[in-house]
Amino acid sequence: MKRFRRHGQESQRDRLKQELFQFNKTVEHGFPHQPSALGYSPSLQLLAIGTRSGAIKLYGAPGVEFMGLHDENAAVTQVHFMPHQVELVTLLDDNSLHMWTLRGHKGLSELLEIGRFTLTGPPGAPPSVTRVTAVLAHTSGELLLLGTEGGHVFIVEVPGFRELEERNISLDQVAASVPDDYIGRRNLEHVEALQENPINPNQVVIGYGRGLMVIWDLEKRCAIQHIPATQQLESVWWTEDGSYILSSHSDGSYCRWMVGGEDVNDEEEKSDIPYGHFPCKAISKIIQLPTEEGPPFLLFSGGMPRASYGDRHCITVIHSKTHVALDFTSRIIDFFVIRDGLQHTGDPSALVVLVEEELVVIDLQTDCWPVIQTPYLVPLHSSAITCSHHVSAIPLKLWERVIAAGELQNTHYSKKPWPITGGQNLAPDPPQRDLLLTGHEDGTVHFWDASGVCLYPLYKLSTAGVFHTDADPNDNMNQGAEGEWPPFRKVGCFDPYSDDPRLGIQKIHLCKYSGYLTVAGTAGQILVLELNDEAAEQTVEAKVVDLLQGQEGFRWKGHTRLDVREEPVLFPPGFQPFALVQCQPPAVVTALTLHSEWKLVAFGTSHGFGLYDYQQKNTVLIKCTLNPSDQLAMEGPLSRVKSIKKSLRQSFRRIRRSRVSLRKHHVNNTAKVLQEANARLEAELAEMELAPVQRKIEARSSDDSFTGLVRTLYFADTFLSDSSHNTPSLWAGTNGGCVFAYMLRLPPVEHRADEPVTAQPAKEIQLMHRAPVVGIVVLDGHGAPLPEPLEVAHDLARSPDMQGSHQLLVISEEQFKVFTLPKVSAKMKLKLTAVDGSRVRRVGVAWFCSSRTEDYGESGLVVLTNQGDVHVVSLPHVKMQVQYPCIRREDVSGIASCVFTKHGQGFYLISPSEFERFSLSTCYLVEPRCLVEAPLHSGSSSQQSAARRVMEHALLNDESEYSRERE
């Protein structure tokens, strides 16, 4: 009987687990890593980006996002939307074509791959014959023209990818009609460009690499006109009225050609090398767009003078007398222009440029062409991300103040709304306001709105102003000097060059109730900041804290402390620093926490930890955790770096030596020496393969290096000395498996400013297994984690149970252990490493709600292991609940970057510029839910297909209404 009953309970728990936990990767934030192709559909108002890893991402209005991944691990080289349809075609590096569609499903659209196709040439033909170099999606929406390396144009019917062999335009057909004096001398080379006549869809221009352009009539299947350009062709543009063709060339020139009916040997009408005189780089793409009144816009990328500005990434925009060379900080992938009007044929309104590291949108209708702030695809890595911190459920007041501070920073952005507006965002409004704070290498902290699908930048804080740095603050300002040619203008925010790596932010802690923020950096600096709505000029006093406390035999070989500006500094509205602690030795800060109610900040480095009273601006406690035998920590990080450097140098030397010796012998007896070298290389290779990967099995000893490194700091109001009086306490955990507890005595509130805060050592726990302590949590009498400071005061959390006995949960990399308090004795534990060999990398406390019954919820520990798995561990019984694979084991930086929210979600970096968002909760799920409807096309395509689309549209609407009713 008993067994049966227990079984029943088990299954009940299993059911509950299903209601509480589920794992989903929901959305990718940030900018795609290594974008390789850009596409745009004016009719859908959707933007598509293909990446080198084979992903395809679609973006419309903020919140409208789709993502697809090609099965092939090949780069996407081209993306083309089928005009007036919801399909798009991608061309991959491996010469395969893929058809994607946005299909309605339960009222939402989803991106689906519906077909794939690879051109097959005649038997025996070289692969270059079918290697696709140019793609034209015909406005009929039913044809795809594929230009190849061999110079042929294949015509394929879509969406079925049926080859229309009889309509193919072979190189021979074209060559036959080309004047002999052109064709006789040289090969036409590959098809570089295909363009359709905007006023006559039956005419296409085929541009060959050698320069020849041929206007081809698809109906009559014959060449109408030849344009004999003599320079290597880069791109072709057919003006909107159909009367001119622009061609851009590899020598930095562009030409304009009249499209005439009869005259076969039309002269080029106008040729220009815009940045000429000296040799120029190629103009890779050129666009000309008319305006209602006045001169057209001419836009082209590249064309810079090779010698002086060959390294710039520029797009030139010329409109009547205005001529600007937009200077980007990374390579240009592609660009397009958005046009006004219902049919998207009006004046150009915005230029959208995809560069390697960001997406820049420029407002072409406002004077000076300001940049429009992007609501998504924001480069997270404008400076490399060094840490992140998530704060859930921000009070409205703080939220508004942060936004207000951010708006003052964004005055240089255009006021125009975001011009890409395709699709409808059907996701419900986020239930709460969440902030994600990212710390960067250049000393800035970015505040992101992480409530919804779009990770939107709110505010940017720079800490560099507090310190003297080598860089001249006006470094980036002295541009656009009068009369400079080309007329450069810097655009974009991607700036990977940090002035001083010591400025890098390592730890962040924000108190959402009080608006106090503390950030700590690479050179042992800890800043305490306060939110101020007004600009203020103030001096930040530095307090140097010696963490060594007289420890002997120490020599710090790392970087020096940052120089603090002694004169008052003007801080803009927003978070303004008012206190600064500098650790000595200036090692990187490894743990940081803030208690805004007690007005204390605790910080730790590899040498020890300290407690700072930011009201009285003095240090309360300094504790050195160094182990005298810990040589590595003593000397600083350099010694390790040196050894890597040394080994690198050695290996390079070895390579060079072998090359030199190779060359030396080469003169005498080439064949023999080559053989010898090969044999040696093979032997070396064999040796490398034979030497297996070995792992040493050794018990941890107390003199392992970095045992003193402080991994975690925690404030708690709990029972430290006796079970009847709770006191404030500070807890610190080290890399050597040691936990220090200090009892804090705070003066009464009325004397808080003048009486000192004191800290007394209360307990020290040495974990037997000596694994690094990565987390400390105190659980109240109900087994629930203690609330954050001020949380209870703001009525946002139940006050903790102070009657029952508190428990201490120590999370090491290997075990979860619960101890009783105030007398510390082991109560429960969960061994992680001893059982499955994984180690805790990241841990957080989260609240999980049941998806079925609203009033049930429980706290749990969310754990990320070095295997990349996420676990949920129950509290207070430390039992493993669920386990999901999340990050690849090899992705060390992804695992290191992971941050958990208080509601069971998490973020980790999938590339330097992208956060993946995941959720372990059934209730808190932020994922894109959006609908894209097929445009009602009134153009020249067949009536039947339009009717079909109307039907589909109606069906979609029905479905969405139905689902709404049901909800």
Partner 1 sequence: MNKNHRVQSSRSLSAVEVKSKFGAEFRRFSLDRSKPGRFDEFYGLLQHVHRIPNVELLVGYADVHGDLLPINNDDNYHKAISTASPLLRLFLQRKEEADYTAFGTDSLTRKKNTVLSAVLLRPDTNRKKPPVIISLPRDFRPVSSIIDVDILPETHRRVRLYKHGQEKPLGFYIRDGSSVRVTAQGLEKLPGIFISRMVPGGLAESTGLLAVNDEVLEVNGIEVAGKSLDQVTDMMIANSHNLIITVKPANQRNNVVRSGGGGAASGSSGRSSDSGASYYGYSSQAAAASMPTHIIQNFPVDELESDDEDLVIEAGGEAEPIRRAPSNYSMPSLPRYEPHLNLRTATTSVSASALSINANGTLPTSGSSGSLSNTNATSTTSSPDRAMERRSLEEDGTVITL
Using CB under 8 A, list all residues that contact partner 1: 692-700, 702, 743, 760-769, 771, 814, 817, 819-820, 824-827, 831, 833-839, 866-867, 889
What residues have CB less than 8 Å from 326, skipping those under 6 apart?
A: 314, 315, 316, 317, 353, 360, 362, 489, 491
CB of 818 to partner 1, least distance (A): 10
Cβ proximity of 941 and 918 under 8 Å: no
d(CA 776, CA 779): 10
Cβ proximity of 415 and 366 under 8 Å: yes
CB of 273 to partner 1, least distance (A): 59
Q: Is the Cβ of residue 16 or residue 824 nearer to partner 1 in the bound state?
A: 824
CB of 746 to partner 1, least distance (A): 18
What is the DSSP code string of 208-225?
A: ETTSEEEEEETTTTEEEE
CB of 702 to partner 1, least distance (A): 5
358-363 vs 371-372, strand pairing mode: antiparallel
CB of 810 to partner 1, least distance (A): 9
What residues have CB less than 8 Å from 4, skipping those under 6 apart?
A: none
Q: Is the Cβ of residue 760 or residue 945 nearer to partner 1 in the bound state?
A: 760
d(CA 787, CA 745): 20
User: Residue for token digits 């936004």?
Assistant: 403
Cβ proximity of 419 and 372 under 8 Å: yes
- The two three-digit tokens of residue 700, written as one number: 């941890």
d(CA 903, CA 897): 18
Cβ proximity of 876 and 807 under 8 Å: yes
Task: List phi, psi (to 5°) of 421.
Answer: -125, 15
**Half-sphere exposure (CA, 13 Å, Cβ side) for 336?**
18
d(CA 613, CA 263): 86
Cβ proximity of 772 and 737 under 8 Å: yes
Tell which residue, 73, 76, 67, has the closest CA to residue 97: 76
CB of 913 to partner 1, least distance (A): 28
d(CA 749, CA 202): 83
How far lies 504's CA from each of 384, 848, 857, 867, in Å?
9, 34, 39, 28
CB of 698 to partner 1, least distance (A): 6
Q: Is the Cβ of residue 564 or residue 824 nearer to partner 1 in the bound state?
A: 824
Task: List phi, psi (to 5°) of 869.
Answer: -90, 145
Name residue 109's amino acid.
S
d(CA 572, CA 469): 19
Bridge partners of 81, per DSSP, are 88
- The two three-digit tokens of residue 228, written as one number: 């004999």
Cβ proximity of 884 and 869 under 8 Å: yes
d(CA 558, CA 948): 70
Q: Is the Cβ of residue 594 or residue 732 nearer to partner 1 in the bound state?
A: 732
Give residue 725's Cα distance to chain centre.
48
CB of 623 to partner 1, least distance (A): 10
Cis peptide before 379 (omega within 30 of 0): no
Tell which residue, 907, 924, 927, 904, has the closest CA to residue 916: 907
CB of 386 to partner 1, least distance (A): 26
Cβ proximity of 286 and 318 under 8 Å: no
Cβ proximity of 89 and 80 under 8 Å: yes
Q: Is the Cβ of residue 328 or residue 819 nearer to partner 1 in the bound state?
A: 819
CB of 877 to partner 1, least distance (A): 14
CB of 762 to partner 1, least distance (A): 5
CB of 634 to partner 1, least distance (A): 16
Q: Is the Cβ of residue 545 or residue 626 nearer to partner 1 in the bound state?
A: 626
HEC letters along 331-372: CEEEEEEEECCCCCCCCEEEEEEEECCEEEEEECCCCCCCEE
Q: Is the Cβ of residue 112 or residue 835 nearer to partner 1 in the bound state?
A: 835
- The two three-digit tokens of residue 196, written as one number: 């359709």
Q: Is the Cβ of residue 550 or residue 748 nearer to partner 1 in the bound state?
A: 550
Q: Is the Cβ of residue 385 or residue 843 nearer to partner 1 in the bound state?
A: 843
User: Residue for token digits 């407002």?
Assistant: 363
CB of 829 to partner 1, least distance (A): 8
Q: Is the Cβ of residue 504 or residue 772 nearer to partner 1 in the bound state?
A: 772
Secondary structure (3-state) at 233: strand
d(CA 199, CA 946): 20
CB of 765 to partner 1, least distance (A): 5
Q: Is the Cβ of residue 623 or residue 949 nearer to partner 1 in the bound state?
A: 623
Q: Is the Cβ of residue 653 or residue 831 nearer to partner 1 in the bound state?
A: 831
CB of 627 to partner 1, least distance (A): 9
HEC letters along 12-39: HHHHHHHHHEEEEEEEEEECCCCEEEEE
Q: Is the Cβ of residue 720 or residue 849 nearer to partner 1 in the bound state?
A: 720
Q: Is the Cβ of residue 79 or residue 738 nearer to partner 1 in the bound state?
A: 738
- H or E stretch at 58: strand 55-59
> DSSP strand E in 410-547: where?
424-425, 435-440, 444-449, 456-462, 488-490, 505-510, 516-521, 525-532, 536-538, 542-546
